[in-house]
Amino acid sequence: MSAEQAALANGQERPDKLESLLACSLCDGIPQRLAAHIVSRCRLEHAARGETVWSAGVDSRFFAIVADGIIRLSRRSVQGREITVEVLGPGSCAGILATLAGTRYPLTATAITDSWYLKVPRELWGELRDGHDDFRERALAEMGRRLLHGFDFMSALLAGDVEQRLATAVLRVHDLLESRSGNVLPVTRQHLAEIASVTVESAIRVTSRWQQRGWIDSGYRHLTLKDTAALRDLLTHSPRASRA
């Protein structure tokens, strides 16, 4: 059984290509005829949890529009650790800057959870860029928004202690998936450790403390966020190493 078949067997539905395209801010409101043309040239791909969508340094052949799941963008540090740069969910684009410039991917894209994405080939991107000025302007606006948001996310991870970094990870996933899953987040403590670039042991220790305080509840392959305000409040305090 392939990873895609396994995902379908486990109840993860195959997203609709057109709906996934139009859910992306890059394509929101484009003419129906153009949307249909784009969809006809794209492939819907599945990435199993932990699967690499592309690696840093590889020539950019496509960019991805996330249809379902969570994709992590990371870069390897000089110590050999994968450091999270950004986390993307449904409606987000990944790899668009490299595709636009025709360069290699600067970051590695990995599926944190079982994910589906639209694979937009570089050739199609060239047609859209050259033939539709409005689409090109949308792409530039999308990249600017993404870069600014990515800087905020990175600064929160870099400046915070372990507990704050994990709170940042939880809140980021919540913000990405709130419209689909509410406060039930399809992530495990290991997922959070990967996003926050901390050890699994630290993630277990911190989230267990949160559970005792009634801020979250844990289940099989998911966390339920019960007190969003408490986690957001953690981010407004100075880091304290004693928390974790």
Examine the domain organization and report whether 99 and 201 are in the same domain.
no
CATH of the domain at 79: 2.60.120.10
Give the domain CATH number at 178: 1.10.10.10
Q: Measured between alpha carbons, how far is 213 from 162 in angstroms, rounded to an integer?
A: 17
Task: Please indicate, yes or no, whether residues 214 and 231 belong to a single structural domain of this protein.
Answer: yes
pLDDT reported for residue 6? 52
pLDDT grade for 9, boundaries at 50, 70 and 90? very low
Tens digits of residue pLDDT in 78-99:
887 888 889 999 999 899 888 8
Residue 57, pLDDT score: 95
With a CB cutoff of 8 Å and minimum separation 6, the contacts of 201 are: none
pLDDT exceeds 70 at position 45: yes
Q: Could you give the CA distance from residue 38 to residue 65 in angstroms, rounded to a whole number? A: 12
Q: Are residues 209 and 124 in the same domain?
A: no
- Return the structure tokens found at 234: 């953690």
- Same-domain pairing of 194 and 128: no
- Answering whether pTM is above 0.85, one says no
Q: Judge if 26 and 147 occupy the same domain.
A: yes
8 Å CB contact between 184 and 74:
no
- 87 and 45 share one domain: yes
Are 175 and 223 members of one domain? yes
Sequence-distant (6+) residues with CB within 8 A of 132 are 34
| Whether residue 144 is found in the same domain as residue 172 | no
7 with 127, same domain: the answer is yes
In the predicted model, what is the mean pLDDT of residues 36-60? 94
Q: State the residue range of the domain holding 220.
A: 162-243
